[in-house]
Structure 1
Amino acid sequence: MKISGLFVIAAGSAAIYSGQDAGPEQISTDMGVRYVLTGAVRGATHRIRVSAELTDGLTGQVVWSDHYDRDLDEDFIIPDEIVERIVAMLDVTLARGEQARVWRKTLRNPDALALYYKGLEHLMQFDKQSVASARRLFERVSEISPDVTLGPTLVSFCHYWDATMGWSEDEAVSLAAADEWGERASRLEDADGQAHAILAHVSLLRNEHEEALRLAEEAISIRPQCATTNALYANILLWYGRPGEALDRVNFAIRAAPVYASWWVEILAAAYRDLGRFEMAEAAARELLRRKPDRLEARVLLAGILAAQNRHDEAAMIGAEVISLDPECSAASLVRRYPYRRKTDLKKLLGLLNSCGLPT
């Protein structure tokens, strides 16, 4: 069994506990895992009951349990259906949150679903090469399932990141591609609101802030409980100049998705910074740097937060690391990447970055 975002012990290794009187806590400790899935099969002449239980090995608390009663007429189909239900539950509970339920119901082709999850793994790494790999996988998803919005939505998202992160040879070409794929996705039945959220980000890069906000609000109305849609909405709110609402949305997203992307943490840190809650902003920025130690933007964010607290020596040290990673980096070039609606926000950020020792 393989689930994107989860490390699963091989069946052979887990089988040593079969028939033993070992509780989930002991198995968790022995195997070095957090959660333990146990199950039992009981059968009569023409009926079978499969019971499954997921336990938190640290607390001993049962996180989820269910049972499945089935006839034994279809020997090969029924077990697969039960396995799929259990895998979907693990995905929702431990990895992707409720949005995974939508993905699994929407992408019925197993090859497309597998490619989609592989693409998400690459996208979570969030660098130039991995996003390019993710884009190619999402293009294949779109080819296999052309009537499903999920493939073209994330192709659009990859082009958006190429444009905004400076990973594209031609920003205008990437932005046009993001727009094209986003429009294509929005014409389909939008399963989770993300197609509209991506189009909102395209509008953002064109400095069409009112249109960006309108599209983001439409996205959240489609899937108000979707973690990724809430994170995308938070990003729009941040640049629009509503950091308090952005903070609420990204915190909701993080709580709803057990596994989440590093750029969500970046929104969290920036929202705390713009609210003047610098201790929380610093903690989030350091978490981002821990997750992505080679990421230039993580250091830029941390340096600005330290400067805002008048910790200029520490800010200058981080600023020097930024220059060592990218000798061509300047405060002005960085600020151009940030699509704030209010010029006063940009001016304030430029001042913070200059005080870190970054050249204008």
Structure 2
Amino acid sequence: MSQTRNHGCRTLQLGFMPLIDCAPLVAAVRLGLDRKHGLQLQLHRQASWAAVRDRLLSGELDAVQALAGLVYGVETGIGGPRSELAILLTLNHNGQAIALSPSLAQPLQQGRPLAELLATLPRRPVFAQTFPTGTHAMWLYYWLAAQGVDPMTAIDSVTLSPSQMPDALARGELDGFCAGEPWVTQAQALAAGRRVMRSGRIWPGHPEKVLACRREFAALEPDTAIALTAAVLEACRWLDERANRREAVAWLADAEVIGLPAERIAQCLLPDAAADDAGPVQALQFHNGGAVNFPWLSDGRWFLQQFRRWGWLAAAERAADDALLANVHRLDSYRAAAARIGVPVPAQDSRRSILFDGSAWE
């Protein structure tokens, strides 16, 4: 989705994945919010989260739509070559889901335990996620563990691009997957799988995608980082209006963005149902008065805790974690951008969350 505009603005190359929550980047360009803040954003669709990571680290891309867990994985060296990254803002809350094959989903929703159902399979269960330390892996593993299934020993976990998951499920290569929309909706449309859990039910208001860049870029070009944050933040605010989302449906359906029928995009961006078989629908949020976009330090602590839960990261003192997160989360840049466009910021850097199993975080 390369743009050809040139108005003397600072040009930035941004990477995105074909997912509903790339909408803020697309809207920032379509609405001219980049030019308003002295930038020209050129958007480049990527094939996988590994490609997003690699092209950001190489400098081919200046900033990217990224999985929150990808950033922490790269920062700690467990999600690829260790490198210093920065989170400028959170792009959205909620909007992901777990799908199972129909043969597993129906009895599960009728009350049979998942562990019992998986034991009936003729081979080890195979589940897909989109990046080893990414958000989808975290939601999938947290949910499986809550069902009495150890995700480290009881299943085979494979990494796939989200657009490949519905067909892989239809072919019987997977028993389930966790991905961002519209790919679970697409699996249901193909009758390949059924949604059994929404990520917003696992953690209502969970962080999902972030706007990320190399820390060197954020440090050496602070004014550009603030302008980029402001442009995308303004797009997030615009997207929280339902009428505006209707306009964005066609943008996302474009072949160069997601490339699925507009009605499929609308099912995800403009859901009508209050609940379905996967439980209450937790609305996909892009702004919510700025509560979505603030890069909460407590969200980062949760991901580090999960990395340790699964044995990927050594124990550390709270002060060490806080120092790491203070470098990653560009709170000063965010506050400056929010002030520029009149978005309120919270008084505290952490928040309290309640997950679906009743556990409280912070």
Larger gyration radius, structure 1 or structure 2: 1
More helix per residue: 1
TM-score interval for Structure 1 and Structure 2 normalised by the shorter chain: under 0.3
Name the TM-score, length of structure 1 as normaliser. 0.26
Higher-RCO chain (CA-CA 8 Å, sequence separation at least 6): 2
Name the TM-score, length of structure 2 as normaliser. 0.26
More strand per residue: 2
